[in-house]
């Protein structure tokens, strides 16, 4: 497990909690940033290594953000809020992307907390719509997203694009 120091002070704890799970918007100036870098680097999802690189290089600009789900001082999931994503034709934005919840915590509502945190943040930034890219169908619809398009990513795979008015 990737433990978070009790002295960590997440930048935004208004996202919500599920039992003892809290979602925080994190910034480079708090220890949680380094913990999330390590968690993403070693998670089971290959895209986690990409997020770890973004965190190491602090490749977040302006309103872009990263969120972590924390339970009992351990990171159990994450997502990003970005202007661009993994598409040569990037005609939608902002993206709620890189959504990951550790296998042992799936099915407990953690993904919903992460999405709600990103949506709340998007509203605070003045956005009225958000997008999620995914190869899945039948999942993000439960959070009020509709499939609106398909885009070919840099790897040559076709992903579904989901949108939600906020």
The count of domains in the chain is 1
Would residue 63 count as lying in a domain?
A: yes
**Is 7 inside a domain boundary?**
no
Whole-prediction pTM: 0.87
CATH of the domain at 79: 3.40.630.30
Confidence of residue 164 (pLDDT cuts 50, 70, 90): very high
Q: What secondary structure letter does DSSP report for 139?
A: S
**Structure-token pair, residue 108:** 């407990």
Q: How confident is the model at residue 113 (pLDDT cuts 50, 70, 90)?
A: very high
Structural domain for 67, as ranges: 17-165
Tokens of residue 130, six digits:
């958000």
pLDDT tens-digit readout, 115-163: 999 999 999 999 999 999 999 999 999 999 999 999 999 989 999 999 9
Judge whether 97 lies within some domain.
yes
pLDDT at 90: 81
């Amino acid at each position: 497990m990737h433990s978070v120091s009790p002295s960590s002070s997440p930048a935004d704890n208004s996202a919500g909690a599920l039992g003892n799970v809290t979602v925080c918007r994190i910034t480079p100036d708090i220890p949680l940033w380094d913990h999330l870098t390590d968690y993403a680097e070693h998670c089971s999802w290959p895209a986690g290594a990409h997020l770890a690189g973004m965190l190491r290089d602090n490749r977040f600009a302006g309103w872009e953000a990263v969120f972590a789900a924390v339970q009992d001082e351990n990171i159990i999931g994450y997502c990003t809020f970005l202007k661009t994503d993994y598409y040569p034709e990037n005609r939608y934005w902002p993206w709620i992307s890189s959504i990951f919840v550790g296998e042992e915590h799936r099915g407990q509502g953690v993904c919903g907390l992460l999405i709600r945190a990103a949506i709340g943040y998007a509203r605070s930034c003045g956005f009225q719509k958000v997008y999620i890219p995914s190869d899945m169908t039948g999942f993000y619809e439960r959070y009020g997203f509709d499939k609106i398009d398909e885009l070919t990513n840099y790897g040559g795979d076709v992903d579904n694009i989901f949108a939600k008015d906020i």
